[in-house]
Amino acid sequence: MAKKNVIIIGASSGIGKELAKVFSGKGYVVGITARRLEMLSEVKKELPSISFMKRMDVAIPEEAMGILEGLINEMGGIDIIVISAGIGFINSDLTWEKEKSTIDVNVAGFMAMANVAMKHFIRQGSGHIVGISSIAAIRGDSSAPAYSASKAFMSNYLEALRFKVKKMKVPIAVTDIQPGFVDTKMAQGDGLFWVAPVEKAAMQIFDVIKNKKEHAYITKRWRFIAWILKIIPGRILAKF
């Protein structure tokens, strides 16, 4: 079987880093990007298969779009693009800098990367876009308003892209991954529960991608929490 190429955007730490290791261990040719070049270089050293690396800051969308296009060309084409870059803050005080940074990365940055990926795959006639959203996309969070809103944007944008390619009848898969708490720096706050090891989360995400599923909660037990979040009245949720 021919080797497949995958790009993971936001691979210097957390889920993105672990996914790069999983894909590389499975024999994929892996391209990794992130803002922190030193950390990215350390990740590259851990990858057993052929790999490529580019520094990219998705908060500078136009520049990041050019870098992604260049990396796709350098790798000779791409089968899968995983958009894992993201930030989040506990921000009950609505500090503007934190709100704006969240939107710059999780909305504008994400959309720029999805734009390049979708246009490339349409020209190619196939491909797979994966977005790492969050269980937080389901309802607004008073302690992290911009974060929950940005993840809702991601999930809805991915759904719109999925509808688009189905309408076009182009074999492009679009996957929305909504993790619960995973043991990374992104997991913030007190009283966290069901915190999954990042290795377990990454393996489940890999299986979802391999099977080209449209949506998945990670880990699987978070389907129960998602169901509760969807049906609980707002007046009750507002108390938490």
Q: What percent of the chain has pLDDT over 70?
A: 95
Residue 145 belongs to domain with CATH number: 3.40.50.720
Which pLDDT score, from 0 to 100, does residue 2 have? 65
What confidence category does residue 36 fall into, taking pLDDT thresholds of 50, 70 and 90?
Answer: very high
Which structural domain range is residue 90 located in?
5-237
Which pLDDT score, from 0 to 100, does residue 63 have? 98
Over residues 57-77, the pLDDT tens digits come to 999 999 999 999 999 999 999
Rounded Cα–Cα distance for residues 154 and 86 (Å): 11
Count of the separate structural domains present in the chain: 1
Instruction: Collapse the DSSP code of 207 into the 3-class scheme (helix H, G, I; strand E, B; otherwise coil) and give the result.
Output: helix
**Is a pLDDT exceeding 60 seen at residue 128?**
yes
Token output for 19: 């996914």
Rounded Cα–Cα distance for residues 205 and 173 (Å): 14
Q: Of 61-75, 81-95, 129-143, 177-191, which range is least confident?
A: 177-191
Q: Do 28 and 104 contact (CB within 8 A), yes or no?
A: no
**Is a pLDDT exceeding 70 seen at residue 202?**
yes
**Is a pLDDT exceeding 70 seen at residue 50?**
yes
Over residues 167-181, the pLDDT tens digits come to 999 999 999 999 988
Rounded Cα–Cα distance for residues 144 and 89 (Å): 6
